[in-house]
Amino acid sequence: MRSYRAKVVEPITLPDRDRREAALAAAGYNVFNLDSGDVYVDLLTDSGTGAMSHEQWAALQRGDESYAGSRSFARLEEAVREVMGFEHVVPAHQGRGAENLLYGALLEEGDVVPNNTHFDTTRAHVANQGADPVDCPLQVALDPAGDPDRPFKGNMDLDRLEAVVDEVGAGAVPVIVLTITNNSMAGQPVSVENTRAVAEFAAEIDATLVVDACRFAENAAFVADREAALDDASVAEIVREQLSYADAVIMSGKKDALVNVGGFVACRDEALFEAVKQRAILYEGFPTYGGMAGRDLEAMAVGLREAVAERYVEGRLASVAELGERLADAGVPVYRPFGGHAVYVDAERFLPHVEPEAFPGQALVCAAYLEGAVRCVELGSFAFPGADRPELVRLALPRRTYGREHLEHVAETFAAVHGRREELGGLDVVDEPPNPELRHFSAELEPREPLVSAAD
Ligand SMILES: Cc1ncc(COP(=O)(O)O)c(C=O)c1O
């Protein structure tokens, strides 16, 4: 059940078909290049796209913009201590800023960093320190059709983790990362049991356990629902329990701190705190604001508390699941179970006749835009050239933003595309930036044949 109502509204329009065709062509068949005004339901990302509460808007007014010792920073510290259980906090402008601070303080050239799955910016920041990021996901999670009832497909594969350490030696592994939920593995959750086991292993090899906690509240709500040992615990209690195993966290406030921008590092160790603060001065700002305005620190403090409110976070998971079920009912092949922040469509099963070199996921993304001005993102052979990954399309739901009618529109859009899927062809890249890892943000494509749309 929805636990909020609208007080401020933002008009959106569904551009007509001619407009959609012209906009997509002008965008080089890459939806990152579209103007947001040409999009009706925007499911490109859940990052920084949510709606703040009236308490957060009120908190903005309390923002203390002092360069040093801001009261707003003190309020953020208090919220992080209460909600997440960490003594020390260093703000950053967003998650990747926090990653730069923390991994720069912890890693050296030649280190190896296992993670259940590195998110793109995490991988880049680990590599930027000269270290080697290694993914240790569960094998089953890589198969969009694999074990649809498995409760914690985001877990670290402990055998893989041990194998990595055996191979390179414990001395080369100063840091282990656990990403909750596992964004790059379809937003699947990580159990508290797995977190505890990873923490015990990290302690054995004397490694620092970092939790990438961007979606800590969504993860805890899954645990409340699925992990028998924590059946009676509240979401807030599960968050405290799960994060108690971490030595440090990195946080993108744009997710479960319910703000449009911001982030932080939190840790327990005094020496690490000092090292992170020194890097903050260099890269983000003085450690009591770290690249954020005082008012945004205030809103993030309020958002952290709101994120662990049961009625909010349960409703959040329910609306993602509702979108997933609507798509499945329309015959769309979806990754199961549904993630915490997004539904993932299996483009390989949707468009089996489009080979990976012609980017079936991107063909589907373009068709969804043409059909209903729905924007989503390809996470397959276009976004990850050369990687052995499933052809997925992610429909990420901004927090507290869209209601049932929007979800219906998305499902109807995909149902219409599905009904005409055999007419859909692939695309070729016609212009790409020098760094292939970043190509899906700006590359331009051409469809091999006309894309399906509703009105013809
Ligand atoms: C798991 C994970 N870690 C780190 C980040 C980086 O956060 P930001 O986008 O705030 O830089 C993201 C962003 O999507 C993420 O999903």
Q: Is residue 123 in a domain?
A: yes
Does residue 351 sit in the same domain as residue 379? yes
Q: Is 359 in the pocket of ligand 1 (CB under 6 A)?
A: no
Does residue 392 sit in the same domain as residue 426? yes
Does residue 274 sit in the same domain as residue 314? no
Q: Is 47 in the pocket of ligand 1 (CB under 6 A)?
A: yes
Query: Ligand 1 centroid vs 18 CA: distance in angstroms?
Result: 35
Q: Is residue 143 in a domain?
A: yes
Q: Where among 289, 307, 325 does a domain terminate?
A: 307
Q: Is residue 224 in a domain?
A: yes
DSSP strand E in 101-174: where? 112-115, 132-135
Region 103-110: mean pLDDT is: 98
Residue 345: which H helix or E strand, with range? strand 342-346
Q: Is 174 in the pocket of ligand 1 (CB under 6 A)?
A: no
Whether residue 265 contacts residue 274, with contact meaning beta carbons closer than 8 Å, is answered with no
Structure-token match 């620092």, residue found: 208
Q: Is 263 in the pocket of ligand 1 (CB under 6 A)?
A: yes
Does residue 254 sit in the same domain as residue 332? no
Residues 6+ apart with CB under 8 A from 370: 17, 20, 21, 24, 451, 452, 453, 454
- pLDDT for 279 beyond 70: yes
Residue ranges making up the domain that contains 137: 54-307
Query: Ligand 1 centroid vs 444 CA: distance in angstroms?
Result: 24
Q: Where among 245, 272, 307 does a domain terminate?
A: 307
Q: Where among 253, 287, 307 does a domain terminate?
A: 307
DSSP 382: T
Does residue 213 sit in the same domain as residue 74? yes
Compute the chain's Rg from CA coordinates.
22
Does residue 31 sit in the same domain as residue 146? no
Give the closest residue (by CA) to ligand 1 atom 4.
95
Torsion of CA 225, 227, 233, 234, to 10 degrees: -40
How many domains does the structure of the chain reveal? 2
What distance in Å separates the CA atoms of residue 340 and residue 321, rounded to the nearest whole number? Answer: 8
Q: Is 121 in the pocket of ligand 1 (CB under 6 A)?
A: yes
Q: Per-residue confidence at 439, pLDDT binned at 50, 70, 90? A: confident
- We report the CATH number of the domain holding residue 169 as 3.40.640.10
Does residue 181 sit in the same domain as residue 113? yes
Does residue 229 sit in the same domain as residue 102? yes
Query: Ligand 1 centroid vs 263 CA: distance in angstroms?
Result: 9
184-207 pLDDT, tens digit per residue, is 999 999 999 999 999 999 999 999
Q: Which of 113, 183, 379 best tests ligand 1's pocket when mutated (most atoms within 8 Å of CB)?
A: 183
204-246 pLDDT, tens digit per residue, is 999 999 999 999 999 999 999 999 999 999 999 999 999 999 9
Q: Is residue 219 in a domain?
A: yes
Does residue 321 sit in the same domain as residue 226? no
* CB atoms inside a 10 Å sphere around CB 48: 17
Does residue 207 sit in the same domain as residue 285? yes
- pLDDT for 455 beyond 80: no
Cα dist from 314 to 183, 221, 248, 293, whole Å: 18, 6, 26, 30
